[in-house]
Amino acid sequence: MQKQLVTKDNSLIGASYNLGVVEQRLIFLAIIEAREQKTLIEAGGLLRIYAQSYAKKFDVEKHTSYEAMKRAVEGLYEAGFAYSKIDKQSGKMGRYKSRWVDKIGYIDDLGCVELIFASDVIPLITRLEARYTEYELKQVVGLQSEYAIRLYELIIQWRSVGKTNPISLAELREKLGLVDEYKRIEAFKRRVLDLAVKQINEYTDITVDYEQHKQGRVITGFTFKFRIKDKVKKALESKRDADTPDMLTSLKMTDKQRGTFATKLSRMSELSTHSKPGENYQQFAARIETELLDEHKQIFYIPYLEKLGFQPS
């Protein structure tokens, strides 16, 4: 069977952005689709990702996958990323911002999402030179945390060395797309870093540990050390961590309930700081509805759902 490889220029691997799990998966499948066309994708090239393909690759129900893909369309259209790249003419480092897609939509009758990559993205995924990172899609299939996916990519570009350079806490937060979330180091480690490391160790081809760097008693950064597993054992048939409650099952929310409560959550004053700059109520509600499908993000919303009268099992 031909390996399905995700290949990105290291400028894109090291970029700063915040994408949910489904949005990142759509990017992976679009990159693979571009690769399988065996020609360089030119500006304006249309790519289709079918729900059937998504369901097969990520081991989810076809209907569930298509609904998740549709909800991800809005988030991916609005999303951008910041990256650094050497200017070929001057040799100087340039810092840029771009959007992921110029166009994205879906066709219900075909069960697919269509997208056109932004012109800045195309050379970062197809016209690769010396500095790029490549890994098999199956390595990130089991990762349910968006931060685990990003951390895996950031780490694996150091495959030949076995450890990363020291990275400051501020830079790591930026690359993971964290702005106001998890500002306290205890919350950052518990909700982001340790959860990501645990999933990487369980589902991918590497085992990761990290060293903390401090100034006095304050944690200022990390170095990640890792090794390739001697015998890779990924529990793809059981994606959920046995030690993590299945919040989606325990919440027992129908699609209608999820949409209704997402709308109510988007208008709670307590969650106003959780909205993104320029995000209106409708966009905020759509993002919350998508996040309520993520078992790890559901934990954040449970106290607010209870205030609204929803009682998890």
- CATH fold of 1-141 reads Arc Repressor Mutant, subunit A (1.10.10)
150 to 54, 101, 140, 306: CA distances (angstroms): 19, 19, 10, 31
Q: What is the pLDDT of residue 9?
A: 87
* Higher per-residue pLDDT: 269 or 127: 269
| Residues belonging to the chain | 313
Query: At a CB cut-off of 8 Å and minimum separation 6, what does 267 contact?
Result: 281
| CATH number among 1.10.10.10, 1.10.286.10, 3.30.70.1230, 1.20.1250.20, domain 142-241 | 1.10.10.10
Which of 74-78, 185-189, 193-197, 279-283 bottoms out in mean pLDDT, i.e. has the lowest?
279-283
Q: What is the pLDDT of residue 196?
A: 96
Bridge-partner residues for 223, per DSSP? 211
User: What's at 229, amino acid-wise?
Assistant: K
Bridge-partner residues for 49, per DSSP? 113
pLDDT category of residue 230 using cuts at 50, 70 and 90: confident
Q: How many CB atoms lie within 10 A of CB 220?
A: 13
Distance CA 235, CA 255 (A): 28
* Higher per-residue pLDDT: 59 or 193: 193
Query: Are 297 and 287 contacting, i.e. CB atoms less than 8 angstroms apart?
Result: no
Position of tokens 């195309």? 122
pLDDT, tens digit, 9 for 90 and up, residues 126-171: 755 556 788 899 999 999 999 999 999 999 988 878 899 999 999 9
Bridge-partner residues for 7, per DSSP? 134
Q: What is the pLDDT of residue 37?
A: 65
The ranges assigned to domains in the chain are 1-141, 142-241, 247-307
Rg (CA), the chain: 19
Full DSSP string of the chain: ----EEEEEHHHHT-B----HHHHHHHHHHHHHHHHTTSPPPTT-EEEEEHHHHHHHHT--HHHHHHHHHHHHHHHHH-EEEEEEE-TTT--EEEEEEESEEEEEEETTTTEEEEEE-TTTHHHHTS--SSEEEEEGGGTTT---HHHHHHHHHHHTTTTTSBPPPEEHHHHHHHTT-SSTT-SHHHHIIIIIHHHHHHHHHHSSEEEEEEEEEETTEEEEEEEEEEE-SS----TT--S-TTS--HHHHHT--HHHHHHHHHHHHT-GGGGGGSPTT--HHHHHHHHHHHTTSHHHHHHHHHHHHHTT----
Torsion of CA 288, 290, 293, 297, to 10 degrees: -50
Mean per-residue pLDDT, 266-286: 76
Query: Are 114 and 69 contacting, i.e. CB atoms less than 8 angstroms apart?
Result: no
Query: At a CB cut-off of 8 Å and minimum separation 6, what does 184 contact?
Result: none
Mean per-residue pLDDT, 200-217: 95
Distance CA 301, CA 145 (A): 16
Q: Taking 90 as the threshold, does the pLDDT of residue 98 lie above it?
A: yes
Q: What is the pLDDT of residue 76?
A: 95
Mean per-residue pLDDT, 64-72: 92
Q: Taking 50 as the threshold, does the pLDDT of residue 239 lie above it?
A: no
Q: What is the pLDDT of residue 160?
A: 79
The pTM assigned to this predicted structure is: 0.69
The pair of structure tokens assigned to 209 is: 């540990």
Q: Taking 80 as the threshold, does the pLDDT of residue 112 lie above it?
A: yes
